[in-house]
Chain A
Amino acid sequence: MNSTNRPRRTPAETQAIVETSLRRRYWAERRFRAYGFTAVTAGMLFLVYLFFVIFSNGLGAFQQTRIQVSIFYDPQLIDPTGSRNAEDLRGADYAGVIRASLRTKFPDAEGRAASRELVRLVSGSAPFELQKKVVADPALIGTTENVWLLASDTVDLLRKGHIDRSLAEAERPLSDRQLGWIDKVQAGGALALKFNKTFVTGGDSREPENAGIWGAAVGSFFMLALTLLLSFPIGVATAIYLEEFANRNRWTDLIEVNINNLAAVPSIVFGLLGLAVFIGFFGLPRSAPLVGAMVLTLLTLPTIIIASRAALKAVPPSIREAALGMGASKIQMVTHHVLPLAMPGMLTGTIIGMARALGESAPLLMIGMVAFVVDIPRGVTDAATALPVQVFLWSDSPERGFVEKTSGAIIVLLAFLVVMNTTAVILRKRFERRW
């Protein structure tokens, strides 16, 4: 036999061999474990870094630079006839008022070019702010008042440190003269960051300093409300039918396979469906939250159905048997006993589905919700955008000022998502029941 020919090892040799191999194996063990830990840490770091980038870029969006200017409401410019007629007051030359006030503040701005540069320090929408003030209170005319005017987006960028002063004059958006004025204003304490009300309450705009997310938020709200109205009843009804009523046959198998597959179909394909069927075939309006909601309903239905079925499955059969034993009909058994017990699970699934719908943008691009919409939508058939689409639109804008707005909109979007998901988790924890 072969084994007899092999030289016999002493126990000490064997022990040495085992010890080296053990050392190697334990080392492999530690390495393997370290790989795993590194992977988890890497995932976490990505998450932290993502949030860091978004927040460090976006928190500034909630503040906007304003310049304090002492404004003389010149009767010659606003209301030369002295009629105090609201129509005249609305049409007056408020840009001229601002120009005159700025020139008194900076007498060194001589000539047209300098004057134009001076006016560019304040936002193009500043005259409208003055107009609103004067129309609301005509007694201001003839008086002088310190007003915090909205600064232009370049001044805002400078104040927030996004403009490199060391660049050559031609390469930066502000001239040396403008920088000098800004420094002078800042030294006098007349340049400050104030809460950006426009961002929270305004609609979209081409100018970063006037852009707001309220229009998109309202669009998202309409869409989500309608999606919830459509998808929750349909989803729950489907789940009840499949779990409680349907016999297992080819038809129900087909439905089940369909639901499982729809859950994994790319969202953009739902957008194609919406474009071809809802808009192309039924002739519903483009860019409308109504169509968006219908597409999102089809998109979220599988999520809701799968969660609702799981919730129904978790209700023990004894409850059903007891109800039937007491003479309840099948519908009564479901509506009086099974459904209330399964409801927390169904709601959790629905909220998660809604959170997914809120963050979805690809199908909305297909149905034309990428239009530039300034007005706040007032109904489900008005043209609207949604929060994630607004993020997409702003991220496409060339102006540097929109980077901050985009991140700000993302913060708002994430805040909504956190609230929704936390509600879902709390709901699950609070009503979770083990039978």
Chain B
Amino acid sequence: MTPVALTLALCLITVGAFWIGKSRSLALVGGTRRVRHLHSLPSHYGLMTAMWCALPALLVMGLWLTMQDAIILRLVVDHLPAGVRDLSANDLSLVMNDVRNVVAGNVPAASVSDTVRGASAEYIGLRGISRMALTVVVLVMSIGAIIVVRSRITPELRARNRVERVVEWLLFGCSTIAVFTTLGIVASVAFEAFRFFSMISPIDFLFGTSWSPQMAIRADQVGSSGSFGAVPLFAGTALISFIAMAIAVPIGLFSAIYLAEYAHPKFRTWAKPLLEVLAGVPTVVYGFFAALTIGPALRGWGESLGLDVASESALAAGFVMGIMIIPFVSSLADDMISAVPQSLRDGAYALGATRSETIRQVVLRAALPGIVGGVLLAVSRAIGETMIVVMAAGLAANLTANPLEAVTTVTVQIVTLLVGDQEFDSPKTLAAFALGLVLFVVTLALNVLALHVVRKYREQYE
């Protein structure tokens, strides 16, 4: 059976197991009228049977399917003719790729060499055997579990406690996924980054000012050594993020002040969600908007003023990114302003301050730590934003502070280096992971700092 069919069969058997366990428990005490003689509800006995039936079988199936491919490939390689087997690891992996393609039906069997055809036939044969064995094992395990559990069911059996213990473990298991995700990110990105740093020195990477990630195809090629100095990328990221924040912070902050302190409640109820729509628009839409409308418009205005504006200028990307970030700043600042106790405002009014004086000298000062935290979160978002800069900022790694020129960013380079075909051991590909590591560390630091500041601020007024 194919894995999908087997999973479906297992589901059916599990449903059957539930009914067998449930009816067995009822039969033991003699029907629903005497159900109080059971320790647990009949459905608990059913659930217990179903769990014993499904969980071990699923575990075995998962392990089996993850190992299957590697083991079969190993066997197929062992049976290849000696001439092919002794090829270098790279060439061998090419042959095995052909085998896989034939097996998957991507390549017609007639178009490959006899060796590959033989190997793929063997692969298919072994896979068939493996699937058959898996089917037998899973079916025996699940049905065997039903028989054993059924014979163990007694009215005194604490089925509920057992089921609930398992459920609690499952809940706990789900909660660890967040930790594993972080570990996975750190491990995978750091691992590839360290491979990169074994080829390129971290000092050159972090402090070099020239970025041209080309690697030679031949060793004697002209200009063969790529240079991986990431400073232009960091500077470009900083420039675009700065422009974005210069747009988003004033507009976001003043919107929050107006909505929290001045606006009529009716105006607020429809204006606030409308502003938040800006945060819900996919970033790819902003990228298109920047590349199609804002970039050419800025270029046109620049020309009429006699300025030379690049069509993929940092200004266009930063401006559109700023629009996207407005709602982050405004909704966080709004929360912070609303959290300032009314008594502080009343005190200021009692001293004769006008509303704006109260806001500027009392409310904003009280809310400042929270607002700073919100702005830090927004900065981290701007740094990590990808699609807008990929579509609207350039690829040229210029080291400049002029917002009218094209700059490139960390995220743009990650995308450029990794989209398309790639080999996992060239510094060009690995550089993307090194950039990813920098990105992750910087945003993580900003987030931790921001969350810490915000939490401290919240505690102050609670």
Contacts and interface: CB of A to CB of B under 8 A. Distances in A.
B188 A277 contact: yes
B106 to A, nearest CB: 10
A264 B380 CA distance: 8
Interface of A: 25-26, 28-29, 32-33, 35-40, 42-44, 46-47, 50, 53-54, 57, 233-234, 237-238, 240-242, 245-246, 254-255, 258-262, 264-270, 272-273, 275-277, 280-283, 298, 301-302, 305, 329-331, 355, 358-362, 365-366, 368, 370, 388-389, 391-392, 395-396, 403, 406-407, 410, 413-414, 417, 421, 425
B330 to A, nearest CB: 7
B171 A259 contact: no
Given A38-B254, A388-B284, A413-B282, A268 B178 contact: no
B262 A283 contact: no
A391 B261 CA distance: 40
Contacts of A42: 251
Contacts of A255: 175-176, 178-179
B164 interface: yes
A44 B251 CA distance: 11
A44 B415 contact: no
Interface in B256-281: 257-259, 261-263, 271, 273-275, 277-278, 280-281
A276 B436 CA distance: 12
Nearest to B160: A329
A268 B417 CA distance: 13
A110 to B, nearest CB: 42
B414 interface: yes
A280 B292 contact: no
A33 B258 contact: yes
Contacts of B327: 43
A403 B293 CA distance: 11
A362 B387 contact: yes
Contacts, number: 260
Contact of A268 (B69, B289, B377, B415): B415
Nearest to A44: B274
Contacts of B182: 258, 261-262
B66 A282 contact: yes
A283 B171 contact: no
Given A32-B356, A245-B171, A330 B288 contact: no
Given A36-B254, A391-B288, A269 B175 contact: no
B173 to A, nearest CB: 8
A286 B250 CA distance: 43
Nearest to A420: B280
B350 interface: no
Contacts of B414: 268, 272, 366
B284 A359 contact: yes
A9 to B, nearest CB: 19
B172 interface: yes
B240 to A, nearest CB: 14
A78 to B, nearest CB: 31
Contact of B283 (A246, A277, A359, A368): A359
B384 A25 contact: no
A241 to B, nearest CB: 4
4 A-B pairs with the lowest CB-CB distances in the bound complex, closest first: A266-B384, A36-B258, A359-B282, A39-B254
Given A237-B175, A262-B181, A392-B391, A280 B356 contact: no
A43 B259 CA distance: 12
B142 interface: no
Given A53-B289, A330-B164, A359-B285, 8 more contacts: A33-B356, A53-B292, A238-B177, A254-B179, A261-B444, A262-B178, A395-B291, A414-B281
B216 to A, nearest CB: 24
Contacts of A54: 285, 289
Contacts of B171: 237-238, 240-241, 245
B186 to A, nearest CB: 9
Contacts of B66: 282
Main secondary structure of the interface of A (DSSP, over half): helix
Given A237-B175, A255-B179, A47 B254 contact: no
B255 interface: yes
Interface string B421-462: 000100000001100100110011001100100000000000
Contact of B254 (A28, A35, A282): A35
Nearest to B411: A268
B37 interface: no
B359 interface: yes
A395 B387 CA distance: 12
23 contacts: A36-B254, A36-B261, A39-B251, A44-B271, A44-B275, A46-B326, A47-B278, A238-B174, A260-B447, A264-B443, A265-B185, A266-B439, A270-B185, A273-B184, A273-B188, A276-B188, A277-B184, A280-B424, A329-B160, A359-B282, A360-B282, A361-B282, A388-B282
B255 A413 contact: no
B310 interface: no
A281 B258 CA distance: 51
Given A264-B447, A265-B384, A331-B167, A258 B179 contact: yes
A373 to B, nearest CB: 14
A43 B251 CA distance: 7
Contacts of B175: 237-238, 241-242, 246, 255
Contact of A40 (B167, B168, B259): B259
B402 interface: no
Nearest to A270: B185
B355 interface: yes
Contact of B292 (A36, A57, A241, A254): A57
B293 A266 contact: no
A44 B253 CA distance: 15
B400 interface: no
